[in-house]
């Protein structure tokens, strides 16, 4: 059995296991065990991957497995990983695991809740291991659809509206992606012969440039919608605000990363010439995202909205870095995806925990929470510091790599947008500290808060898992950045059309 | 025999029956009458089948077979339809088709 | 050559203490956490002294210059094929000097805090943060490359944020910590852009490569690129922006007075002796690049330093909060150091300003820490910061009084205390470098003596004040650090800095220029005299003078309305003119468009839903009509 297929299989088995549980206590234990195994497996995968690379295996994809699935259209079930996908799988496993513990007290229809959540995660895992565009798209849909149910049923506030908005916008993105993928498929053999969905095979040929010009915007915007590309980001604040805790965590932490991952693994990698030509449009949009999201966050009063806008800003930086099209910036993009995934998951988890106690998410109604819940307060401060890019936590590594990479372009346009994007670190500090000050510090505004208790064991478990991951990347980023960087070499060579000197 | 009655006569009859059926189906509000109209339409088709078969391809029997199938289907359909009508009657205390408009926006 | 690998332990020990106390502190008795923190710092201090001894005396043959030694280095992150962030420790005269300063002051502050913070909530948290700060600051001075410096630069910023906001239930402390972090963060943006520019053009972060006179930075300085300045000048000006933010130089100084909301030992350690001089250290670290590659940038440094020192000295004369007076005094003294660097040249006697700056940094750390800790003892005794409510405390607090007086004399620059020597070198350097700045500094010297003695007399002399309970001298654990620092303030001036810390590592001679020193002492004495006349006894003179110069007094008292300007920029411009419209735009225009699309869809569906009437005969009629129409079309129109 191929180790990668296990990543799809274990969630399915967990779902089957959940069907046999009797009450929410059993359900959550089964879910935790299943996702715990998944986390261990992800760790094992990283270890095996690094061992294989150290043993000198230089193949682009490792642990590959390929079997024909639907011969008429030449659709394969084809899996394999490189350093980027391994890193993303690790991220997903951590966030899902933490998410299970963050939803420990979901008692309403808990079986259905955990089934949807795990189904979603299996879609995400499937997406990251797929090498076949069609199966990749299939898994993408599997990941997006349960979101509707999760928000619509277990959400809060105007949940039907938000769920519908989110789903419709993401479906619009899917439609664009589908057009792009079909276009790629039908142009995958320009010299005649068998058409293919396989990314590695398509990367070897050049899609005709006229077709690229037409297909690139479809694919990039399609994935960009999921990656909160300005101006298609508005599903994010509403969706996140209404979603239950674990769903926000998974959505902002992992699902938005499908956008960034798809944007460069599919759009940029397979259509580099069009990417070169059209990059400037998207660079403008993404640098707007970065600054605009940060400024948007300053004015918000709802914690979830603040974090949603902050995600717009940080995810904007991911796409921004991808479009910079050099080794360093793209490396930074992937690290930023992981870093943002972890810290935004931490934030949403904490928001959920605080909301569960204070029953409000409005920062002007809270204050002085550090005194009554020191654990959550400290965790929040750590998350905030990671978000504003404090060295020693993951955000710094990601941002610096992106900025140094973006600065390698010498022309005025790139310089300007780079400095613009860099300035977001100040704005980020403003809104993060504003929240920290209003939420945790100062006098306690409401006497009811004095009776609140600090985090329970499962909440601590969830929080600590994420904090440890953030700190691990922040303190020792070298292995991660090298793992990603070495896998980026073939992609960057294809995208820039130049062979790059061996840094790794 | 074939020389005596031209094909056109059959077609005229069947066309008349067809449009009487259509007319009945569209104007009558009673479900039973509408069912009868449908029978008229089906039978007009049957006449067409048999007539064309006889006049154009005397050596084949396909048209006859089709007529037989249509008759069989019509019988089954009548059974199902009357069952539906009875159920509608039980639910609405009426077999007026205008009363049964729950399947709208 | 001596092996200095052990120097990495100097920052790592406080880090270990931070992690240990931070995680387990709430389970131990408060005093234990204080002792652990102090012990860790004492260990670091001993190591620092050993390093200094080894570097300056043991491993060095007389007559040859001091070289910089890279004791340890590991790769931390690969960025591009040329640029790799490394972490390590670099040993050279200024870093060794800073190690001594930081560990000494930090150790004193630790000991002092054991007494000062007694009974406070979050005692262990305080010591954990102090250790975090010590770690960051030591890592900063040991940095082998500019990116490592930036990393630790941010870390000291955050430790400062945490310590200023230590009393997190006090809204003013929270606001001050936020302000400190955001203002320095803004300055750090400049620093980061400077680093990006510098590293892009030189392909290195490494200090040894950067400052080498034959290295890429200096040799490829290049011509004018933008507004008459070279790329190198621009990058160094941006880098200096970071330094100016951290060192509270005009106009990025506004966070420093507010930062006094933190506990007083923190003000002594971070906002007087160590962190705020990081900007000076940064410029000193890159000094050869400034001096040889971009003299224009160095002029900026000099003028910013000069203006800051005058500006702060004027404000200090009118403030009534003890700690704010000291804060402006710190800003003014750091202005001196910046100015000294700015007027300095490279090598030999030309590098007098460089030496003087570091000398002053050293002595200033001693006497300013002493002043703050003394002020802390006063605050501890009377539970107030406001000096208008104090007076005649010399009877109650004899030790504090004596040490405070020593510090005041030192900062005023009266020989033979240490402040005289370092300030004199700066004045000589300014005289040789830039006459205009030289006269500014003369004025500042007089103002400094005046406001320090105004403070001194207001606290310890003046009117007899009734306190809620009789003020009492601080416990021994607090007065011993005062005495040690007073000892340092008196004798630090006799250290042969011109042999040890010079711009090119080679010793040079610095004869005392009496023609400059004597007037400066006279000016200082004049300042002291005026203060004595005005504040020793309660007189109406200060009010009269304030009335006579009412405009100047008002502007100075309101700190030249700098806070109001900033408030206007942040509240009005950033919040109301940028952020609010952005939020509105997002909700109503961007999201409005999306909702509009949905609305249009819904409107259309309302309009056409009549087709779905539920009437079978209507459907059938449409169907039949359609079928007939199709038949007609196919028959007649095809």
Q: Which of C174, C181, C199, C569 to mutate to test the interface with A (most CBs of A within 10 A)?
A: C174
Q: Which of C613, C614, C617 sits opposite B26 (nearest CB)?
A: C617
CA pseudo-torsion sign B4, B10, B12, B17: positive
Paired with C78 in beta bridges are C84
Q: How far away is chain A from the Cα of C123, in angstroms, using its nearest Cα?
A: 14
What is the CATH number for B68? 1.10.287.3510
Is B11 a member of any domain? Answer: yes
DSSP letter assigned to residue C504: T
The answer to whether C338 faces chain A, any CB pair under 8 Å, is: no
Chain A contact probe: residue of C582, C584, C587, C602 with most A CBs at under 10 A: C582
Distance from CA of C70 to the nearest CA of A (A): 21
Structure confidence at residue A502 (pLDDT)? 46
pLDDT exceeds 80 at position B53: yes
**C613:B102 CB<8 A:** no
**CA C144 – CA C128 distance, rounded (Å):** 26
Q: Please report the DSSP string for B23-91 in residue order.
A: HHHHH--BHHHHHHHHHHHHHHHHHHHHHHHHHH-TT--HHHHHHHHHHHHHHHHHHHHHHHHHHHHHH
B105: nearest CB among C609, C616, C624: C609
Task: Please tell me the predicted confidence (pLDDT) of residue B36.
Answer: 92
pLDDT bin (cut points 50, 70, 90) of residue C629 is very high
Pick the closest to residue C82 from A278, B64, A404 (CA basis).
A404
pLDDT tens digits along C221-250: 665 566 667 788 888 889 989 888 888 888
The minimum CA-CA distance between C617 and chain B, rounded to whole Å, is: 5
Percent of chain A with pLDDT over 90: 13
- For an interface test with C, give the residue of A237, A295, A387 to mutate (most C CBs within 10 A): A295
CA distance C451 to C387: 13
Report how far apart, in Å, the C-alpha atoms of C204 and of each of C200, C297, C475, C537, C597 are.
8, 20, 51, 61, 52
Answer yes or no: are the C-beta atoms of A300 and A319 closer than 8 Å. no
Band (C567; pLDDT cuts 50, 70, 90):
confident
Give the global pTM. 0.86
Residue C556 pLDDT > 80: no
Least confident of A358-367, C190-199, C464-473: C464-473
pLDDT at B2 over 60: no
Tell me which residue range forms the domain holding B85.
7-92
pLDDT band at B83 (very low <50, low <70, confident <90, very high): very high
Query: Does residue A357 register a pLDDT over 80?
Result: yes
Using a CB-CB distance cutoff of 8 angstroms, which residues of chain C are in contact with residue B22?
624
Instruction: Determine contact, residues A408/A279, Cβ cutoff 8 Å.
Output: no
Chain-chain contact of C78 with A403 (C-beta, under 8 angstroms): no
Mean pLDDT, chain A, as a whole number?
Answer: 87
- CB-based contact A396 C151, cutoff 8 Å: yes
| CA–centroid distance for B70 within its chain | 9
Q: Enumerate the residues of chain B whose CB falls inside 8 A of the CB of residue C615.
A: 97-98, 101, 104
State the total domains in chain B.
Answer: 1
Q: Locate tokens 């400290």: which residue?
A: A378
d(CA C398, CA C410): 18
Is the pLDDT at A501 greater than 60? The verdict is: no
Q: Hey, which residues 156-185 in chain C have their CB within 8 Å of chain A?
A: 158, 161, 165, 168-171, 174-175, 177-178, 181-182, 185
* Res A160 pLDDT > 80: yes
Residue closest to C278 by CA, chosen among C86, C412, C139: C139
Token duo for residue A205: 């040929």
Kindly tell me if the per-residue pLDDT of A460 is higher than 70. Answer: yes
| Mutant choice from C606, C613, C614, C631 vs B, greatest count of B C-beta within 10 A | C614
pLDDT of residue A229: 86
Question: Tokens representing B11?
Answer: 């077609």
With CB atoms and an 8 Å threshold, state whether C613 touches B101: yes
> What average pLDDT does chain C have?
83
Specify the DSSP element, H or E, that contains A17: helix A3-19
Q: What is the pLDDT of residue B105?
A: 67
Instruction: Using pLDDT thresholds of 50, 70 and 90, give the confidence band for residue A498.
Output: low
Query: What is the pLDDT confidence band of residue C135, given thresholds at 50, 70 and 90?
Result: very high
How is residue C453 written in tokens?
């003695």
Span A19-38, average pLDDT: 88
Q: Write down the pLDDT at residue A504.
A: 44
Interface mutation target, options C606, C607, C615, C628, chain B, most CBs of B under 10 Å: C615
Residue B17 has pLDDT above 80, yes or no: yes
Q: Which pair of tokens denotes residue A272? A: 């580099």
Q: What are the residue boundaries of the structural domains of chain A, listed by start?
A: 3-488
Q: Does C622 touch chain B (CB under 8 A)?
A: no
- Say if CB A382 and CB A350 are below 8 A apart: no
pLDDT tens column, C389-403: 777 777 788 888 888
Residue C330 has pLDDT above 60, yes or no: yes
DSSP-assigned letters across all residues of A67-125: EEEEGGGTEEEEEEE-HHHHHHHHHHHHHHHHHHHHTTT--TTHHHHHHHHHHHHHHHH
In a domain, B1, yes or no: no
CB–CB contact A425 C185 (8 Å): yes
The band of A503, judged by pLDDT with boundaries at 50, 70 and 90, is very low
pLDDT of residue B45: 93
Residue B85 lies in a domain: yes
Does any CB of chain B come closer than 8 Å to the CB of residue C539?
no
Residue B100 lies in a domain: no
Separation CA A403–CA C77 (nearest Å): 14
Interchain contact, B101 vs C621, CB within 8 Å: no
C83, C151, C575: residue with CB nearest A391: C151
Give the span between the Cα atoms of A105 and A458, in whole angstroms.
10
Whether the per-residue pLDDT at C1 is higher than 60: the answer is no
- pLDDT higher than 70, residue C207: yes
- pLDDT for A450 equals 76
- pLDDT category of residue C74 using cuts at 50, 70 and 90: confident
* CB atoms inside a 10 Å sphere around CB C552: 13
Q: Give the range among A113-127, A165-179, A433-447 with minimum mean pLDDT.
A: A433-447
Q: pLDDT at position C555, please?
A: 74
Mean pLDDT, to the nearest integer, of C19-40? 86
Spatial distance between the Cα atoms of C577 and C570, rounded to a whole number of angstroms: 10
Cβ atoms < 10 Å from Cβ of A448: 11
What ipTM score was computed for the predicted complex, to two decimals? 0.89
C624 in contact with chain B, both atoms CB, cutoff 8 A: yes
Q: What does DSSP assign to residue C277? A: G
DSSP letter (8 states) at residue A230: T
Q: Are B10 and B45 in contact (CB under 8 A)?
A: no
The answer to whether C78 contacts chain A (CB < 8 Å) is yes
- Of C78, C169, C200, which has the smallest distance from its Cβ to A482's Cβ? C78
| Residues forming a β-bridge with C90 | C70
Distance from C571 to chain A by nearest Cα, in Å?
11
Least CB–CB distance from A503: residue in C78, C192, C594: C78
In Å, how far is C602's CA from the nearest CA of chain B? 13
How many cross-chain Cβ pairs, A to C, lie less than 8 Å apart? 138
Residue B30 burial (10 A CB sphere; 0-12, 13-18, 19+):
middle
State the pLDDT at residue A500.
57
Nearest-5° Cα angle at A355, A349 to A358: 145
Residues of A in Cβ contact (< 8 Å) with C76: 476-478
Give the closest-approach CA distance of A308 to chain C in angstroms: 12
Residue C62 pLDDT grade (very low, low, confident, very high; cuts 50, 70, 90): low
Subunits with at least 3 CB pairs below 8 A relative to chain B?
A: C
Question: Which bin fits A368, alpha (ψ -120 to 50), beta or left (φ > 0)?
Answer: left
What would the pLDDT profile of A259-271 be if each residue is shown by its tens digit? 889 988 888 888 8
Count CB-CB contacts under 10 A for residue C150.
25
B86: in domain: yes
Question: Pick from C529, C336, C578, C546: which is nearest to C437 by CA?
Answer: C336
Neighbours of A329 (CB within 10 A): 27
What is the arithmetic mean of pLDDT over A286-307?
Answer: 87
Check residue C632 and give its pLDDT: 92
For residue A211, count CB atoms less than 10 angstroms from its CB and return exposed for 0-12, middle for 13-18, buried for 19 or more.
middle
Angstroms from C465 CA to nearest CA on chain A: 33
């Amino acid at each position: 059995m191929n180790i990668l297929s296990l990543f799809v299989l274990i969630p399915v088995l967990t779902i089957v296991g959940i069907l046999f549980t009797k009450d929410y206590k059993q359900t959550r234990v089964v879910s935790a065990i299943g996702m715990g195994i998944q986390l261990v497996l992800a760790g094992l995968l990283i270890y095996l991957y690094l061992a294989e690379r150290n043993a000198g295996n230089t193949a682009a994809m490792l642990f590959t497995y390929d079997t024909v699935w639907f011969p008429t259209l030449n659709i394969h079930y084809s899996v394999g990983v490189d350093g980027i996908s391994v890193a993303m799988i690790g991220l997903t496993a951590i966030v899902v695991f933490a998410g299970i513990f963050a939803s420990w007290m979901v008692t309403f229809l808990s079986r259905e809740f955990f089934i949807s959540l795990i189904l979603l995660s299996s879609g995400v895992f499937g997406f990251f291991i797929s090498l076949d565009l069609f199966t990749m798209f299939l898994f993408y849909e599997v990941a997006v659809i349960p979101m509707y149910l999760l928000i619509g049923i277990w959400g809060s506030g105007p949940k039907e509206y938000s769920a519908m908005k989110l789903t419709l916008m993401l479906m619009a993105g899917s439609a664009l992606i589908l057009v792009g993928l079909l276009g790629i498929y039908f142009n995958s053999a320009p010299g005649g012969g068998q058409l293919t969905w396989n990314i590695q095979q398509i990367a070897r040929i050049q899609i005709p440039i006229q077709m690229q010009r037409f297909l690139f915007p479809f694919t990039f915007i399609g994935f960009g919608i999921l990656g909160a590309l300005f101006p298609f980001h508005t599903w994010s604040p509403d969706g996140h605000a209404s979603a239950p805790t674990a769903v926000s965590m998974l959505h902002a932490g992992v699902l938005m990363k499908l956008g960034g991952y798809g944007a460069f693994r599919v759009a940029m990698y397979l259509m580099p010439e069009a990417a070169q030509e059209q990059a400037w449009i998207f660079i403008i949009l993404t640098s707007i995202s970065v600054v605009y999201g940060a400024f948007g966050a300053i004015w918000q009063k709802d914690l979830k909205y603040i974090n949603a806008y902050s995600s717009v800003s940080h995810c904007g930086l991911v796409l921004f870095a991808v479009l910079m099209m050099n080794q360093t910036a793209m490396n930074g993009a992937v690290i930023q995806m992981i870093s943002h995934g972890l810290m935004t998951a931490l934030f949403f988890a904490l928001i959920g925990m605080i909301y569960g106690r204070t029953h409000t998410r409005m920062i002007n109604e809270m204050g002085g929470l550090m005194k009554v819940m020191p654990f959550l307060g400290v965790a929040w401060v750590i998350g905030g510091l990671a978000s504003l890019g404090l060295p020693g936590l993951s955000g710094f590594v990601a941002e610096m790599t992106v900025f140094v990479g973006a600065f390698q372009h010498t022309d005025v346009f790139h310089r300007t947008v780079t400095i613009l994007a860099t300035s977001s670190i100040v704005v980020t500090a403003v809104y993060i500290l504003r929240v920290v000050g209003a939420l945790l510090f100062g006098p306690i505004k409401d006497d009811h808060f004095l009776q609140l208790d600090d985090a329970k064991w499962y909440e601590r478990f969830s929080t600590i898992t994420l904090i440890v991951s953030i700190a691990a990347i922040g303190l020792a980023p070298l292995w991660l950045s090298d793992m990603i960087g070495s896998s980026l070499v073939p992609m960057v060579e294809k995208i820039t059309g130049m062979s790059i000197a061996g840094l790794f | 025999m074939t020389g005596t009655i031209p094909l056109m006569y059959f077609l005229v009859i069947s066309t008349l029956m067809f449009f009487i059926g259509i007319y009945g189906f569209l104007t009558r509000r009673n479900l039973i009458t509408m069912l009868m109209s449908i029978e008229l339409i089906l039978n007009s088709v049957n006449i067409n089948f048999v007539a064309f078969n006889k006049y154009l391809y005397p050596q084949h029997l396909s048209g006859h077979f089709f007529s037989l199938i249509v008759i069989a289907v019509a019988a089954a359909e009548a059974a199902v339809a009357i069952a539906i009508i009875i159920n509608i009657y039980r639910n609405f205390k009426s077999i007026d088709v205008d009363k049964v408009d729950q399947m709208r926006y | 050559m001596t092996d200095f690998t052990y120097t990495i332990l100097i920052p790592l020990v406080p880090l270990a203490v931070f992690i240990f106390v931070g995680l387990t502190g709430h389970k131990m008795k408060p005093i234990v956490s204080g002792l652990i923190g102090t012990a860790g710092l004492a260990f670091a201090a001993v190591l620092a002294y050993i390093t200094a001894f080894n570097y300056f005396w043991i491993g060095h043959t007389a007559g040859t210059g001091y070289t910089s030694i890279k004791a340890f280095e590991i790769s931390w992150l690969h960025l591009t094929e040329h640029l790799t962030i490394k972490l390590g420790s670099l040993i050279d005269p200024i870093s060794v000097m800073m190690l001594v300063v930081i560990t000494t002051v930090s150790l004193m502050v630790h000991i002092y805090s054991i007494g000062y913070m007694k009974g406070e909530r979050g005692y262990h948290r305080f010591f954990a943060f102090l250790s975090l700060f010590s770690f960051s600051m030591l890592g900063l001075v040991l940095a082998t490359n500019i990116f490592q410096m930036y990393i630790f630069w941010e870390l000291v910023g955050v430790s400062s944020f945490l310590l200023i906001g230590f009393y997190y239930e006090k809204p003013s402390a929270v606001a001050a910590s936020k302000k400190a972090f955001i203002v320095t963060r803004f300055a750090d943006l400049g620093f980061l852009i400077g680093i990006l520019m510098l590293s892009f053009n030189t392909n290195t972060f490494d200090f040894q490569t950067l400052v080498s006179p034959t290295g890429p930075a200096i040799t490829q300085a290049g011509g004018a690129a933008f507004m008459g300045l070279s790329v190198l000048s621009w990058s160094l000006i941006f880098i200096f922006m970071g330094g100016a933010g951290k060192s509270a130089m005009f106009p990025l100084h506004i966070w420093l007075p507010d930062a006094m909301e933190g506990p007083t030992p923190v003000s002594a350690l971070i906002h007087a002796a160590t962190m705020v001089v990081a900007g000076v250290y940064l410029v000193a670290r890159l000094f050869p690049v400034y001096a040889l590659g971009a003299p224009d940038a160095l002029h900026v440094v000099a003028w910013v330093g000069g203006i800051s020192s005058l500006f702060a000295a004027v404000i200090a004369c009118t403030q009534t909060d003890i700690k704010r007076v000291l804060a402006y005094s710190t800003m003014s003294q750091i202005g001196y150091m910046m100015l000294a660097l700015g007027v300095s040249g490279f090598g030999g006697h030309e590098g007098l300003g460089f030496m003087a700056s570091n000398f002053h940094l050293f002595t200033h750390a001693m006497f300013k820490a002493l002043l703050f800790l003394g002020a802390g003892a006063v605050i501890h005794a009377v539970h107030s910061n406001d000096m208008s409510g104090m007076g005649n405390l010399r009877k109650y607090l004899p030790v504090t009084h004596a040490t405070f007086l020593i510090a005041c004399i030192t900062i005023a620059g009266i020989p033979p205390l240490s402040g005289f020597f370092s300030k004199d070198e700066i004045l000589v350097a300014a005289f040789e470098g830039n006459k205009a700045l030289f006269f500014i500094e003369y004025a500042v010297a007089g103002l400094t003596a005046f406001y320090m003695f105004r403070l001194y007399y207001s606290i310890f002399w003046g009117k007899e004040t009734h306190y809620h309970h009789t003020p009492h001298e601080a416990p021994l654990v607090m007065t011993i650090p005062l005495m040690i620092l007073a000892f340092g303030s008196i004798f630090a001036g006799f250290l042969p800095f011109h042999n040890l810390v010079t711009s090119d590592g080679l010793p040079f001679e610095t004869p005392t220029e009496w023609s400059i020193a004597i007037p400066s002492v006279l000016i200082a004495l004049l300042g002291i005299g005026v203060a004595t006349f005005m504040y020793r006894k309660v007189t109406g003179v200060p009010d009269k003078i304030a009335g006579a110069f009412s405009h100047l007094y008002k502007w100075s008292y309101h700190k030249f309305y700098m806070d109001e300007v900033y408030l206007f920029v942040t509240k009005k411009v950033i919040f109301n003119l940028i952020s609010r419209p952005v939020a509105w735009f997002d909700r109503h225009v961007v999201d409005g468009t999306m909702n509009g699309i949905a609305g249009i869809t819904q409107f259309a569906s309302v309009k056409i839903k009549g087709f779905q009437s539920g009437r079978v005969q209507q459907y059938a009629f449409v169907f039949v009509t359609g079928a007939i129409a199709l038949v007609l079309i196919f028959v007649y129109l095809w």
